Amino acid sequence: MAKNFLIITEGVSTEPNILQSILNRYGFNVIRKEPISITKDETVLDFDVTSLDNQKDSVVIAQGPRNRIRDFLILIDKQSEDVERCFSQFEQNFAGVFLIYDVDHTLKDDLEKMFLKFQDETSGLLILSSPCIEILSEPYRKEILEVNHLFEYKTERKACIQNKTNNSVENYIIDNFEELILAFLKQNCEESGSSNVMEHPEYVLQQINLLNDRTYISKDVQPVLYRYFTTTLYVCIAYILGLTKEIENSQMVADFFLKHKKE
C-alpha cells in the first residue's frame, strides 16, 4: 500500500519546482495543488486521496494559506478552530506533513510560536531556510548579509549564478541538489552534534534566533542582519524516502544523496 505525503510551501513556484524535480528524480509521483484555503465557507484542501496511485508513493505540494509565517500566525489566531480542523484532516490522510518556509524578516517570537504549533512530522513539521531557499545556491557562505528586503539577496544570487553558469538559480539548485544539500547536512550534523536529522529543525531554529537580527518589514524598513545560513530541506525528503526510521540516521541520509550525486 502506497503512502501519501503533504508538503506545504511558502513560495508559489521556486520551492515547489525544486521539490517536484528532486522527488520525481527519486521516483515519486508528485501532484501540484491549488493553494490551501482555510475558511469557514470553503472546502479545506479539496483533494481526494482515494484518487492516488495505490501502487506508488505520492507527494502533494500546495502553497500555504498565507505566504509568510507572520500572516499564517495571524490566520491561526483569527481562525484557530478551522486551522486545527484542517491539520487534523491532513494528519488523517497523509503519512507526513511538512511546512517549507523562509526565515525572511520573521521575528524571533513568531518563529518560536510557529515551531511550537508545527513541530511534529505526523501533523506538521516546520522546515526553515535561513534567510531563504536560495541559500542552497551558496552552501559555504560566511559573510554577514545585511539587506532591507530579501529581494536584494535573491537578485544578487540570480546575477551571480547567471554569470557563473549561465543558468537560473532554481535550475542550478535542481541540477546540483545532492552536492549542495550534503554540505548543509554535514554542517548541521557537526554543529548540532546530532546524527538524527529529525532533531535538526529545532536546533536550526535556535541558532537562527541566536545569531540573526531581524525586524519585521514595515513602512519604516530597517536592515536585517543574517549571520546564520542554512536549510533543513533534506529532513522532509529523508522522511519521505523512509530514511529516518532509525534514530542514528544521518549517515544513511548522506549515503543516499552521495549515491545520487552527479559526478
Does residue 2 surpass a pLDDT of 80?
no
Residue given cell 542582519 in the structure block: 225
The residue segments making up the domain with residue 197 are 4-260
Q: pLDDT over 70 for what percent of the chain?
A: 90
Confidence of residue 130 (pLDDT cuts 50, 70, 90): very high
Angle of the 233-240 helix axis to the 250-260 helix axis, nearest 10 = 90
CA–CA distance, 156 with 135 (Å, rounded to integer): 11
Cell of 206: 535556535
Does residue 219 surpass a pLDDT of 60?
no
| Span 249-254, average pLDDT | 97
Angle of the 69-78 helix axis to the 80-93 helix axis, nearest 10 = 110
Does residue 49 surpass a pLDDT of 80?
no
Confidence of residue 65 (pLDDT cuts 50, 70, 90): confident
Q: Which pLDDT score, from 0 to 100, does residue 14 have?
A: 92
Does residue 1 surpass a pLDDT of 90?
no
CB < 8 Å & 24+ apart, contacts of 44-52: 44/82, 44/85, 44/86, 44/89, 45/86, 45/89, 45/90, 49/4, 49/93, 49/94, 52/2, 52/4
Q: Which pLDDT score, from 0 to 100, does residue 54 have?
A: 66
Which has the minimum average pLDDT: 78-87, 143-152, 219-228? 219-228
Query: Count of domains in the chain?
Result: 1
| Span 82-106, average pLDDT | 90
Does residue 192 surpass a pLDDT of 80?
yes
Q: Which pLDDT score, from 0 to 100, does residue 45 have?
A: 57
Nearest to 65 by CA among 43, 50, 94: 43
Q: Which pLDDT score, from 0 to 100, does residue 38 have?
A: 81
Confidence of residue 67 (pLDDT cuts 50, 70, 90): confident
